[in-house]
Structure 1
Amino acid sequence: MRASRFFISTLKEAPSDAEIVSHKLMMRAGMIKRLGSGIYTYMPMGLKVIRKVEAIVREEMNRAGAIELLMPLVQPAELWQETGRWDKMGPELMRVKDRHGREFAIQPTSEEVITDVVRSEIKSYRQLPLNFYHIQTKFRDERRPRFGLMRGREFTMKDAYSFDRDLEGMQKSYQVMFDAYTKIFTRFGLKFRAVAADNGAIGGTGSHEFHVIASTGEDALVYCPTSDYAANMEAAEAVPTGTRAAPSAELVKTATPKAAKCEDVAKLLGIDLSKTVKTIALTAETETDGKLDKQYFMLLLRGDHELNEIKAAKVPGLQGAYRFSTEAEIEEVYGCKPGYLGPIGTKAPVTIVADRTVANMADFVTGANEEDFHFTGANWGRDVAEPHVTADLRNVVEGDPSPDGKGVLAIERGIEVGHVFQLGTAYSAAMNATYLDENGKPAPLQMGCYGIGVTRILGAAIEQNFDDKGIVWPTSIAPFELVLCPMGYDRSELVKEETDKLYAAALAAGIDVIVDDRGLRPGAMFADWELIGVPHRVVIGDRGLKDGNLEYQGRRDTEATNVPLADIVAFIKARVQQ
């Protein structure tokens, strides 16, 4: 490729609406162009990266035995209604009607469609296992699209779906996909971590997320440096330490004027925040025969810990719809304003749910259900009945014991770019997708689901690989592996001749190369390619050619290296393959 025949459109400054590094650099490098909120045109330079990402994904998916097909972007509402997700998905699911008034979804994912395909095609256990995948446009009507390709509304995703006859087969297929994902992200040249995760709205029994490690990542990843344990913050188990001590202090109702937060109480009383207990009031609503029934829950956490809402939603009684209690409900149930709640002396029946750490506490400080007062020296069993439920409710913190007992936990930031799910029969049962077993009896198909955010990879890769000059692409997904920068291509016959020879030789060696024949001055030329992030650069000039050398510089190198002209192709090929 010659730069004069390619479309290159770089900017010195990022548009004002670009927020994070990857968004700014992709806009400046001319890789994407904003069309609307969360919707982008992939410009030629950006599309080259996308195609390289897709090629690696296809190679590894095919190698793992998955079969490619292509499912439609627009899907009939009836399929989504079969699984109940038509209503459950909420406003993120874009709904449209055709000219006949029939409803459709602009697909954010394809579980329903692939299950419909398989239930009409698979009849016998002899046809299993199967794994279908496609790479397709997706649309999710994000409430607040932001960060460029990191949280857009329209994006490209690879999703795959495995079908097996039993749980053991599904778990084998899951492991095959897990291993394939590990190979894919390794080939991308990115630092990544696979972590245990919660299945969330997609359903199923188990899952792992694949995260690109980046200090700017939205997600907190929990891992043990001395073992293989890893999970995202939602799924990481907080292991309690020690056993509850015997009471050693008297229960005292203590004035705490205007101290509604645990931090203020601890400061006022001169104690550590970890000696306090905070209360979170929740209301669970259920409707029976048209009558709304309310149940009240008091969640107790140590003052220095944070509630994990995913864990809270698994508490018996909170697994359906729940919300934070209103101030009016709090005054009715607890007899005081928020900020002074506690498990001792509630006015109305309340289900007390204590985090495991709180259940182990003694002589703790908690609200007295009276404005401007707290109890000090509170103890379970003596001053208040044991909790109705003890559960893991909190986010882990650095230094917590690892759940596998092999060390303590550390936390780093990551960007989710892939997710693998063990769906089980969540969709096959809802859609009556069965096969006939060896005895001729129908049985539900066991499913797995596996996604990679193809376009999101671009943003994640940049968030991990950039400097003050621009993007630093890993070679495997760079728009071009090598750029040739001739000095005076239009003025020196020798430079032009050697540049053209090297260009042809690089192409013959299988190197994805571009020649910058635009006639720019060296500073402007180098700045463009450093911004775009091409990982390997060779400068061809009269002075070096007279000495029989060319100047090579890797994108991360601080200085250039002189390489003999006769050795340059082998030298570059070795660098590209590293």
Structure 2
Amino acid sequence: MRRSRAFIPTAKEAPSDATLPSHKFLVRGGFINQQGAGLYNFMPLGKIVLEKIRAIVKEELDNALCQEVQLSFVTPIGLWERSGRSEAMGKEMLRIRDRHENEFVLSPTNEEAMVELVKNRVTSYKDLPLNLYQINTKFRDEARPRYGLMRGREFLMKDGYSFHSSVEDMVREFNLMEETYKKIFTRLGLDFRVVAADSGAIGGEGSKEFHVLANSGEDTLVVCEACEYGANIETIYESEEEIDALKAKSYDELQELKIDKKCSCGGALHFKKGIEVGHIFQLGTKYSAPLEAYFNDENGRTKPFEMATFGIGVSRLVAAVIEQNHDEDGCIWTKATAPYVVNIMVSNIKDTAQMSLGEELYKRLENSGIDVMLDDSKERFGFKMKDAELIGFPYTIIIGKELENGMVQVYERRTKETLSVDAKTVYAKIMELLS
């Protein structure tokens, strides 16, 4: 993409209600803009990031033999009444009526709808297991939508549902999805933990959350420094007062607290803040039984499906990446999530030699499958550099006056280090850095 043609409306000021870095920088960097309370539009840069995350999620799920579907965003209220969740979801579930006074909901999640999809279509144990997922819009009418994409009312979520003939096979799939989720978050370049969690309104007997570690996270976790153990404090502290007190503490305050007991591995335990980006549940027959979704087992007996459900906050991940990767100047995208991995900045577009090299590099990188931006805008160098840091391109090739001596600079956003590189070898250097 050429910057002279790109729609990237960057801004100097953050929204007055923005407190989190991701909210400030995603708006200032021209990734998103607010449509209403808890409602956000994704502009071109934001849409690219969203689709990159979506693609990684889909690829790993498909590799695990999950199958993608797409359910209607609008669901009849009757399904929710039959499962017993119509009232349990409370005011977060937005109800609407059509012209015939039929009541529907804007889906906050889709356990009931997916059961209805499978019911009477899968009738034998021979057709199991089955894992279906979608990456689709959800709506939860949050009482206090805030923090930008972190807690919006409308969001993009991956929700998957598996169906099994036995508890043992359901647990096997649950474990497979845990490993699959780990692959997804690792590919996204995130520092995360899997923690024991409360099942909440979704229900079931066992669940695990996936948290991106970030100082601004809403959840308080206990993690081991020596192994992968982690737990949400809600699952290990019995006193509501103690839980509330810990939740209210900032990251810095938590670091001053000591946990007396050790992890079972012998490692020291520490408090961390986390952003929940995934949650997996062992449901059992919580939904299949009340919705009368049955299959015939190997002995011809009729049984309700054993189920599990698996969610990832896809649009929340856009914000979570920045909560974990930013500085005072703006976004620092991981290579897997950056809208453009390389930014070619031509300092003076009127200089024929500078523009010629910029065009050459742009075409070579593009032909090599690299997501590259050519900053051919008329703005001054200082403005271009500030924008590059705000947007967060992992690498910027600066083509300026040093080209007279056959040299260009390669600026790495994360380290803020600048390398002087021979113009003839800069393409090879960038490819080396990206490998």
Where on the TM-score scale, by shorter chain, does this alignment land: which range?
over 0.9
After TM superposition, give the deviation of residue 402 of structure 1 in Å.
4.0
Q: Secondary structure at the match of 1:497?
A: helix
Match of 2:415 among 557, 563, 569: 557
Residue 226 (structure 1) aligns with: 226
Q: Secondary structure at the match of 1:560?
A: strand
Residue 103 (structure 1) aligns with: 103
Opposite residue 431 of structure 2, the aligned amino acid is: K
C-alpha contact (below 8 Å) 1:509/1:573 kept by paired residues = no
Q: Secondary structure at the match of 1:181?
A: helix
Q: Map residues 24-423 of structure 1 onto 2, 5 A cutoff.
A: 24-236=24-236, 306-308=241-243, 398-402=258-262, 404=264, 406-423=266-283
Which ranges of structure 2 fall in alignment gaps of 5 or more residues? 245-256
Residue 545 (structure 1) aligns with: 403
Residue 384 (structure 2) aligns with: 525
Cα deviation code 1:226-276 (max 9, x no counterpart):
3443111111267xxxxxxxxxxxxxxxxxxxxxxxxxxxxxxxxxxxxxx
**Which deviates more, 11-20 or 544-553?**
544-553
Q: How far apart, in 2, do the equivalents of 1:444 and 1:173 lie?
A: 17
Q: How far apart, in 1, do the equivalents of 2:208 and 2:405 lie?
A: 55
C-alpha contact (below 8 Å) 1:481/1:535 kept by paired residues = yes
1:503 lines up with 2:384 in the alignment: no
Match of 1:536 among 384, 395, 405: 395
Q: Map residues 481-492 of structure 1 onto 2, 5 A cutoff.
A: 481-489=341-349, 491-492=350-351
Cα deviation code 1:374-417 (max 9, x no counterpart):
xxxxxxxxxxxxxxxxxxxxxxx742324637344311111111
**Which deviates more, 545-554 or 179-188?**
545-554
| Larger of the two Rg values belongs to structure | 1
C-alpha contact (below 8 Å) 2:79/2:113 kept by paired residues = yes
Q: How far apart, in 2, do the equivalents of 1:405 and 1:45 lie?
A: 44
Q: Secondary structure at the match of 1:126?
A: helix
Match of 1:443 among 277, 296, 303: 303
Q: How far apart, in 2, do the equivalents of 1:458 and 1:553 lie?
A: 23
Report the aligned-residue RMSD: 1.6
Q: Secondary structure at the match of 1:88?
A: coil
Normalising by structure 1, what TM-score? 0.71
The 1:91/1:568 distance shift into structure 2, 3 A limit, reads same
Q: How far apart, in 2, do the equivalents of 1:124 and 1:199 lie?
A: 29
Q: How far apart, in 1, do the equivalents of 2:417 and 2:171 lie?
A: 50
After TM superposition, give the deviation of residue 59 of structure 1 in Å.
0.7
Q: Secondary structure at the match of 1:534?
A: coil
C-alpha contact (below 8 Å) 2:119/2:293 kept by paired residues = yes
C-alpha contact (below 8 Å) 1:207/1:421 kept by paired residues = yes
Q: How far apart, in 2, do the equivalents of 1:150 and 1:32 lie?
A: 13
Normalising by structure 2, what TM-score? 0.94
C-alpha contact (below 8 Å) 1:53/1:188 kept by paired residues = yes
Q: How far apart, in 1, do the equivalents of 2:74 and 2:416 lie?
A: 50
Q: How far apart, in 2, do the equivalents of 1:408 and 1:217 lie?
A: 21
Q: How far apart, in 2, do the equivalents of 1:407 and 1:3 lie?
A: 50
C-alpha contact (below 8 Å) 1:219/1:414 kept by paired residues = yes
Q: How far apart, in 2, do the equivalents of 1:118 and 1:155 lie?
A: 25
Which ranges of structure 1 fall in alignment gaps of 5 or more residues? 239-300, 310-396
After TM superposition, give the deviation of residue 441 of structure 1 in Å.
1.1
Q: Secondary structure at the match of 1:476?
A: coil
Opposite residue 306 of structure 1, the aligned amino acid is: E
After TM superposition, give the deviation of residue 87 of structure 1 in Å.
1.2
Identity of aligned residues (%): 45
After TM superposition, give the deviation of residue 572 of structure 1 in Å.
1.2
Opposite residue 538 of structure 1, the aligned amino acid is: I
After TM superposition, give the deviation of residue 209 of structure 1 in Å.
0.5
C-alpha contact (below 8 Å) 1:237/1:403 kept by paired residues = no
C-alpha contact (below 8 Å) 1:221/1:412 kept by paired residues = yes
Q: Size of the alignment, in residue pairs?
A: 423
1:12 lines up with 2:47 in the alignment: no
1:513 lines up with 2:341 in the alignment: no
Q: Secondary structure at the match of 1:404?
A: coil
Q: How far apart, in 2, do the equivalents of 1:562 and 1:410 lie?
A: 42
